[in-house]
Structure 1
Amino acid sequence: MGKGIAAALVLVLLLVGSPAQADGAPVGQDTAVAQTLGGRELTVTLRRTDGAPAPLQVDVITHVGSPPGTLRLAATPAGESPTSTATIDLRTGPTTAYLRVDRYGPWELELSDGTTSARIPFAVAERVSPAWERTVYGGFVAAGLFLLLSLLLATRSSKLALIPAAALVAALATATTAALLSSTIPPKSTQDKPRPPVNLAVEATATGLVLTLTDSATGRPVDDLQVHHGALIHLAIVSARGTLAHVHPVRTAPGDYRVQFTPTDPGQHTMAAEFTRLGGGQQQVRARVDIAGEQRQPPTPAKGSVTTTPLRAGDPATLTVDFTGPDDLQPWLGMRGHLILTDDTQAVWAHVHAMATTAAAQPDETVAAYPAEVGFTFTFPHPGRYRAWFQAERGYEILTIPATFDVAP
């Protein structure tokens, strides 16, 4: 019986030792958010924190064309005053700042360049053990206690040792069953209930655009947008001449988003805003707005060429863009490339992605190792003329190649 008890002890130690390592797993994950702050196109990455209190690393990538300056960052618990601040000098490429979080729950990262401010919501999540995990740990701990009691009674040659021995077997069986069934138990959903669609109102100001998001059912400000493909809102703006601006409005208050935008030609602009609401899925909302200004020279297209398979309505087509040069493209907004499409009637708006990787951990923009040739697949819904803009990143510069396609019936 002594050898059997010793073997059981070794089994318990092995079983207890393995799950204990999972208890130290990092809490949360990295969150990258694109921000068009003032005249700067930034990518702000909040690195995951291991609980609280803990340091919060914030990486800010400044893209080519952004003016120099300083950026003030502040970590603020929701509804309170900042607990830590930092200031960084903006330059092309990545810059790192360190803040500190001292509690769990909702927070905001405040960004300010002295003129324009943004507030990025994030959460410091406390690790909550699921019921099956608590059952596994509890079963193993109970098994260990029953084993010690059995050893103590066995040394006294007491038949009572059979009682804790039986309890030991039951505890091990319970813990093992919970561990084996853990993969079949779905995690608790964070989406407490479905959300109705969002209404969008756009106003042009002297310096840009103001986007007001309201709940279509209650009319209240919408403040539950989730980071989707590296941004809270992806806003594509197209002028009458066919110039594209792909920007990412900053959140200034619940339901209030703003972006500095200088048109290349005044007049009516059409736009499509893409975002994801907690429990509401992805949504695209379109708008038209008249923007005043002076005629300006449109941005110079990037060097490259576009080739396609035959374009017929209803048939999947492959559109390939070659940005020329070495294979050193960087992922932008988590993707290797972007394709924005619209037809002359504005009935079709599409935003197509070329994935950077299918891995769970997406690379950030410091990785420069992707082919210069990027392929997209798209099915044109009806014949006619389409405008397209292919986008990628190289050397922290957003490259855009426009193209026009005639799609046959």
Structure 2
Amino acid sequence: MNRFWTAVVLVTTLIFLQSCTNSPSSQKASLTASHDSAEPAPSGSHSEDHSEAHGSNAHDDEVPSRSPLASLRAEALETDQPAALAIHVQDAEGRPVEQFDTFQEQLMHLILVSDDLQHSRHLHPTYTGKGHFEVETRFPQGGSYTLFSDYKPTGQAETVSVLKAQVKGDRPPAPTPDWTRTQSLENAVVNLSFSEESLQAGEDVTIKFELQDPRSQEPLSDLQPYLGEAGHLVIVQAAETLTRDHYIHAHALPDAPTGQVHFATQFPEPGRYRLWGQFQRDGQVITAGFWVNVAP
């Protein structure tokens, strides 16, 4: 007997500058999807929120008049067990989107975060054709997860679809945020700083990561490009229900000093944010996570 899969089509809206208008296709999809529902999903996966054009912040690009739809399929998910995830992308008429452009060396970037922002994983699903992507992972704890699926159909703007998953298993209480600006990892010491003394919502800021050798304490001179850039940065704002508006993907700036990687962005609203910077050394990815607080 085939394994039972649960699937719900992601309700997708179109973004024109700062306004949001539902298409007839997304309204039809809402008959089978629980759009913006406050009820927990079954143990498995469903999808919610928007597919939107993507720049370094939430609303930088304009979406074409026919935005793609995405759906997530998964078996019942359990803590620390292999989990096979499948994402299907289709157009507004329900036909598979078959052509995708490579960006940052991949056809799709899948950012998986626990809703308490304690855990994050950056995955690259394999494209198997006819709009279908597959990837395997593990979920480190029980509870709710948000998956930001970042892809670029050929001839269209880069799009982020927000998907949801519920995982069986223990969910430990979230620890108090650690506000320190230094992380000591196996192959690097990562220091975080900013171009401004305090972080203000809506203000431009340069986020600076300085990476040092853990033994010599000297700046790393052997950092390697990661996904075609000096580094990768994902920022998620803490919220009771994570949506596309809480997600920021920033690109590395050129010409930073040796051992440093810089990113330019804005924090759109005041509140707590989790930053995950990723870099590469000796073929290994370095991931450093930090909490920051943004003032009004």
User: TM-score under structure 2 normalisation?
Assistant: 0.63
Check whether the contact 2:253–2:263 (CA below 8 A) recurs between aligned residues.
no
**Alpha-carbon distance change, 223 to 293 in structure 1, aligned in 2, over 3 angstroms:** farther
Cα distance between partner residues in 1 of 2:68 and 2:230: 29
Indicate the residue corresponding to 2:265 in structure 1: 378
Q: Separation in 2 of the partners of 1:333 and 1:268?
A: 28
CA distance in 2 between counterparts of 1:294 and 1:266 reads: 5
1:195 CA displacement: 7.4
Conserved? CA contact 1:307–1:321, under 8 Å: yes
Q: Letter of the aligned partner of 1:257 in structure 2?
A: F
In 1, Cα distance between the equivalents of 2:137 and 2:254? 29
Aligned length: 201
Deviation (angstroms), 1:340: 0.3
Q: Give the partner amino acid of 1:338.
A: H
Q: Which position in structure 2 is the counterpart of 1:249?
A: 125
In the alignment, the residues of structure 2 paired with residue 231 and residue 370 of structure 1 have an alpha-carbon distance, to the nearest angstrom, of 27
- Deviation string, structure 1 residues 373-395 (Cα, Å, up to 9, x no partner): 11111111111111110111011
Match of 2:104 in 1: 229
Which of the pair is proportionally richer in helix? 1
- What is the match of residue 233 of structure 2? 339
Give the C-alpha shift of residue 355 in structure 1: 4.4
Aligned positions of 1:72-83 closer than 5 A = none
Structure 2 residue ranges without an equivalent (≥5): 1-63, 76-81, 173-183, 214-219
Give the residue type in structure 2 aligned to 1:223: E
Task: Determine whether 1:390 maps to 2:277.
Answer: yes
Q: Out of 40, 59, 66, which is 1:196 matched to?
A: 66
CA distance in 2 between counterparts of 1:324 and 1:203 reads 41
Q: Report Cα offsets for 1:290-332 as digits up to 9, x if no partner.
A: 1346779xxx956311112220011111211112122111001
Deviation sequence 1:246-291 (CA, Å, 0-9, x none)? 0110012311111111011122110111111111121111111113
The residue aligned with 2:163 is: 287
Change (3 A) 1:282 1:316: same
Whether the aligned pair in 2 keeps the contact of 1:211 and 1:256 (CA below 8 Å) is yes
RCO higher in 1 or 2 (8 Å CA, sep ≥ 6)? 2
Inter-CA distance 324–262: structure 2 relative to 1 (3 Å threshold): same
Does structure 1 residue 304 correspond to structure 2 residue 190? yes
Specify the SS of the correspondent of 1:271.
strand
Q: Secondary structure at the match of 1:281?
A: coil
- TM-score computed with the length of structure 1 as normaliser: 0.46
Q: Percent identity?
A: 29
Q: What is the SS of the residue equivalent to 2:223?
A: coil
* Aligned equivalents of 1:371, 1:396: Cα separation in 2: 18
- Specify every segment of 5 or more residues in structure 1 that has no aligned partner in the other structure, as ranges: 1-193, 358-368
SS in 2 for 1:311: coil
Per the alignment, residue 73 of structure 1 pairs with none
Query: CA-to-partner distance for each residue in 1:31-50, whole Å, 9 max, x for gaps?
Result: xxxxxxxxxxxxxxxxxxxx
**Equivalent residues in 2 for 1:47-66 (5 A)?**
none
Residues 292 and 211 of structure 1: is their aligned pair in 2 closer, same or farther, counting only changes over 3 Å? Answer: farther
2:212: which partner in 1?
324
The answer to whether the 8 A contact 1:234-1:273 is kept is yes
8 Å CA contact 1:391–1:399 kept in 2: the answer is yes
Cα RMSD after superposing both structures = 2.3
- Note if contact 1:338-1:353 (Cα within 8 Å) is conserved in structure 2: yes
Please state how far the C-alpha of 1:196 moved relative to its aligned partner: 2.3
The structure number with the bigger radius of gyration is 1
- Partner letter of residue 189 of structure 2? K
